[in-house]
Chains A and B, each alone.
Chain A
Amino acid sequence: MTLSVKFDRLLDLMSSNSIKIDENFPERDAPVTLAAGATAGSQAFPSPQGSQRNDTALGAPGRKGPVKAPRWLKQLAVQLSAITVLIGIWWAVAAAEIWPPLLLPSPADVFHQLFVITGTHDGIRGYSGYFLQEHLWHSMSRLLQGAAWAVLLGVPIGILLAVVTPLRWIFGPAIDFLRNLPPLAYFSLLVIWFGIDETPKVALLFLAAFPPIVIATASAVRNVPVDRINAVRMLGANRFQTIVHVTVPSILPEVMTGIRVAIGIAFTTVVAAETINGIPGIGGMVSDAQRYNATDVVVLGIIVIGLCGLAIDGLIRLADRLLVPWRGH
């Protein structure tokens, strides 16, 4: 019994990392909408035990036994222990020196690099003259610029393609073509056109993030229910008012999902964008460290990039909750 409860929690945890925004998590608002949450949960993940037993595990009144720790706390505890165990294994394997530190640096080495790169030691400033946070900031600023352009251009173009059919015929396939290209394939061309400074990097991130946003927007516009459009037209709205007051808010949930996907793609492209003249930049730091066999810096870079990705995704999900509280309704 307990095991299956924990398994449910694991499933919840996994689904929280998926594209689907998790508004129907039982534990978030357990006491208020317990019934709704429980049904949603049991529909998504049918468990042979049924959902009634889960209700009591969620802290419903009338359960027996002492007051237990809140669920999120347990989840955090399990997650932290898992990470600790993982680092412990890493530590043990590195200490056994099965492979030389050049291949597998120990956690201590990596942690030491964190200390080294974030400050000035023996007159050496960070890595390649920049602190870790500066590398990170430059990458994030590129990402932000590329993504901002993609949103600013992608959303209006998506609306336009959805509304004007001939434009969709012409540019639809072109955007599909672009979407299916690996960003590295056109990066060389961007370098030839724009040189090796900031422009090709931002352009690359823009081109990677642009298609998902256009496609999500266009599909969202076409999915707005006819009756919803009619509901505002019968109130006397003209074409422009209809777009502003109904189309734009209606597409927001799908557009937000598109932006989340797009920024995910752009983020995975950052490192590639910084392989050429990428310092300062976290990707530039990693590829430079690889050239000089500074494996501990490479591993540190990977961890920082990964954590940063999670943080960005979390921020977008938070923005989604604030901007689209009606998602799913």
Chain B
Amino acid sequence: MSTASPTATGGAGSQPGSGAPGSRPHGPVAGRISLAEIVHRYGADDPVIDGLALNIEPGEFVCLVGPSGCGKTTLLKLVAGFEFPEGGQVVVDGSRVSRPAGDRAVVFQQPNLFPWLSVRGNVELGPKLSGVSKEDRRMVSDHLLEMVGLADAADKKPWELSGGMQQRCAIARALATDPSIVLMDEPFGALDAITRERLQDELLEIWRQSRATVVFVTHGVEEALYLGTRVVVMGDRPGRILLDLPIGSYGAETGGEVRRSVRDSAAFLDLKRQVRDTIAGARKELS
């Protein structure tokens, strides 16, 4: 994400992170993911994912929904480079994924912050590892902490924060390497409903500013429809794609008050039913 782009932030910092990964130019070009004929299994069991193909364009907000055990998280791990498929290819921006890297940031279900570092230290670790100077790191973290609303908590330790604030910090940390792809694995799953809704809106705001590709795993159908520009419904045994629903942008593109009312619109409820029926239908087939 162009965390350092002045246009995206309304001028917070003139040229932060010049020479940093923050300055890597990527418009709509970077952030393409292609998965082809993916087969993946754990041990000698039946494959978790079998013959899955999925292409994601730069700047899309793709939500993966499906029952637990359908391989959503596995898919995310394959793109992140934490695991490698038994068959098929994971290609990101033209090159095959061989290891995790800063261009593919991950936000986990648990915040997974480093407890020995301050909030700021957590955010700055990514740039630090790639050799960004202290001043530039500071500028990146100032900007990101402002963006996620943690500017006042910069010097606190992660365990002094609430769950929602920790997850905000995790998002800021993920954005600090200026990734073209952000992979999110049920990031709001452990939060209470009110905090979750607030963070959903904040995430959309961040995405609108940065235009990175987001792959968002959830088992909340409503969350998927609200956030995504495209909802991919997966079935289990083996993991495969049941429904690929380009919905444009129900929540994503619109701003402020409009978004809230979207949840209750008839079209939204229609889509929700469609997704639910797909999942239920696949369930019936299996049994």
Contacts and interface: CB of A to CB of B under 8 A. Distances in A.
B94 interface: no
A303 to B, nearest CB: 39
Interface in B115-147: 115-116, 125-126, 129-130
Interface in A209-242: 225, 227-228, 230-237, 241
Nearest to B108: A227
B116 A236 contact: no
A241 B129 contact: yes
A236 B126 contact: yes
B112 interface: yes
A245 B102 CA distance: 16
Given A326-B115, A329-B115, A231 B108 contact: yes
Categorize the interface residue count of chain A: 10 to 19
Interface string A40-55: 0000000000000000
For B100, B101, B126, the residue with the greatest tally of chain A CB atoms inside 10 Å of its CB is B100
B116 A235 contact: no
B114 A329 contact: no
For A228, A233, A234, the residue with the greatest tally of chain B CB atoms inside 10 Å of its CB is A234
Contacts of A252: 116
Interface in B164-220: 173-174, 176-177
A156 interface: no
26 contacts: A227-B108, A227-B110, A228-B112, A228-B114, A230-B100, A231-B106, A231-B108, A231-B112, A232-B114, A234-B81, A234-B82, A234-B100, A234-B102, A234-B174, A235-B102, A235-B177, A236-B177, A241-B129, A245-B114, A245-B129, A246-B114, A249-B116, A326-B116, A326-B157, A326-B159, A329-B115
Interface residues of B, number: 27
Nearest to A246: B114
Given A230-B100, A326-B159, A235 B126 contact: yes
A325 interface: yes
A235 B125 contact: yes
Contacts of A232: 114, 125, 129
B101 A236 contact: yes
A293 B98 CA distance: 74
A252 B116 CA distance: 10
A233 to B, nearest CB: 4
A225 B173 CA distance: 18
Interface in A254-312: none
B82 A237 contact: no
Nearest to A249: B116
B42 to A, nearest CB: 14
A231 B123 CA distance: 12
A230 B114 contact: no
B189 to A, nearest CB: 14
A321 to B, nearest CB: 14
Cβ-closest 7 pairs across A and B: A326-B115, A236-B102, A235-B126, A329-B159, A233-B100, A249-B116, A234-B106
Contacts of B101: 234, 236
Given A325-B157, A326-B157, A326-B159, A235 B114 contact: no
B80 interface: yes
Interface string A62-102: 00000000000000000000000000000000000000000
Contact of B114 (A233, A234, A249, A325): A249
Interface string A110-152: 0000000000000000000000000000000000000000000
B112 A236 contact: no
A245 B115 CA distance: 12
Nearest to A230: B82
For B81, B105, B110, B112, the residue with the greatest tally of chain A CB atoms inside 10 Å of its CB is B112
A245 B127 CA distance: 13
Nearest to A329: B159
Contacts of B114: 228, 231-232, 245-246, 249
Contacts of B112: 225, 227-228, 231
Nearest to B160: A329
A276 to B, nearest CB: 44
A235 B117 CA distance: 15
A234 B82 CA distance: 8
Contacts of A325: 157
Contacts of A246: 114
A227 B177 CA distance: 18
A236 B125 CA distance: 10
B230 interface: no
A230 B170 CA distance: 13
B34 to A, nearest CB: 20
A60 to B, nearest CB: 22
Contacts of B40: none
Contacts of A231: 106, 108, 112, 114
B207 to A, nearest CB: 18
Contacts of A235: 102, 105, 125-126, 129, 173, 176-177
Contacts of B176: 235
